[in-house]
Amino acid sequence: MEIVLLEDVKALGKKGQVVKVNDGYARNFILPKKLGVEATAKNLNDLKLQKANDARIAAEQLAAAKELGEKIEKSAVTVSIKAGEGGRAFGAVSSREIAKAAAEQLGLDIDKKKIVLNDPIKAIGSFEVSVKLHKEVTAKLAVKVVEA
């Protein structure tokens, strides 16, 4: 029996795949647990339409990420931090503070988890921070750290 998987099934396949399984396995496990449906013409057509819709949505998300990336590349944020002698900071600038500054100064809603800091910023000056917007889109945000 051929089955269209609705969920990922370990050792069988991923969601959206058409797999051939034994009739008993399909009737007693796959179908009752709603892990898949029988591969009829209607179900195969629905699968094709769903994949086309998913591809369209993924393309829209990629385009939106590229657009946001261009805005981020052209802009810069300023973050103030308390500092001692010689420009040595009394703490570090975190991704949360950078995201908050971007929201206040630029009006961009950037998730703090998407800001990639290899090391915390612990000095006064200008830095470039990577922002991972999409698996294919990474932008550089200029961050200027000033003394408060």
Structural domain spans, the chain:
2-63, 64-147
Does the pLDDT value for residue 146 go beyond 70?
A: yes
Instruction: Give the side-chain half-sphere CA count within 13 A for 56.
Output: 6
60-81, pLDDT tens digit by residue? 999 999 999 999 999 999 999 8
Q: 2-63: which CATH topology? A: Ribosomal Protein L9; domain 1 (3.40.5)
Instruction: Output the CA torsion sign for 111, 114, 116, 117.
Output: positive
The token duo for 104 is: 């206040």
Taking residue 69's Cβ as centre, other Cβ atoms within 10 Å add up to 20
CA 79, 82, 88, 91 torsion: positive or negative?
negative
CATH number for 64-147 (one of 3.10.430.100, 3.40.50.10860, 1.10.3720.10, 3.10.510.20): it is 3.10.430.100
Q: What is the pLDDT of residues 87-143, one digit of tens each?
A: 677 888 899 999 999 999 989 888 999 999 988 888 888 999 999 999 999 999 999
| Cβ–Cβ under 8 Å, residues 89 and 123 | yes
The pLDDT score that the predictor gives to residue 79 is 92
Whether pTM > 0.75 for this model: the answer is no
